[in-house]
């Protein structure tokens, strides 16, 4: 069975400022950083406009195989899951 992107999410939790996502496994921090840059510039954006309009800040930290994305804004964990499930851009090559 092929691994889906959501299976790479080991943790997704609400925080006082938004949502924190931890991706583990076959994930490269450079791919996640590129995905975030694409989101910010709306280039090849997999996220819907409503979700993007509610985001105030996106930060990426960690290393290959364990990457943390901190999303600040009026968003929920289900909104994040829905949008990340559409993205193919953070899968390791």
Q: What is the CATH number of the domain that holds 56?
A: 3.30.70
Let me know: does 77 contact 14? Beta carbons within 8 Å.
Answer: yes
pLDDT of 47 > 70? The answer is yes
pLDDT of 76 > 90? The answer is yes
Q: What is the reported pLDDT for 54?
A: 92
Beta bridge partners of 73: 55
Q: Would residue 89 count as lying in a domain?
A: no
Q: Would residue 19 count as lying in a domain?
A: yes
Q: What is the reported pLDDT for 20?
A: 96
pLDDT of 1 > 50? The answer is no
Q: Please state the domain count of the chain.
A: 1
For residue 44, the enclosing domain spans 5-84
Q: Would residue 59 count as lying in a domain?
A: yes
Record the pTM: 0.81
Q: Would residue 92 count as lying in a domain?
A: no
The mean per-residue pLDDT over the stretch 30-35 comes to 87
The mean per-residue pLDDT over the stretch 29-58 comes to 81
């Amino acid at each position: 069975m092929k691994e889906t992107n959501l299976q790479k999410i080991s943790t997704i939790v609400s925080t006082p400022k938004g949502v924190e996502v931890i991706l583990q496994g076959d994930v490269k921090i450079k791919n996640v950083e590129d995905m975030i840059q694409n989101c910010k510039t709306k280039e090849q954006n997999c996220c819907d406009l409503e979700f993007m309009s509610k985001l105030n800040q996106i930060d990426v930290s960690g290393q290959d195989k364990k990457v943390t994305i901190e999303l600040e804004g009026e968003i929920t964990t289900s909104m994040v899951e829905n949008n990340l499930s559409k993205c193919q851009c953070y899968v390791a090559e």
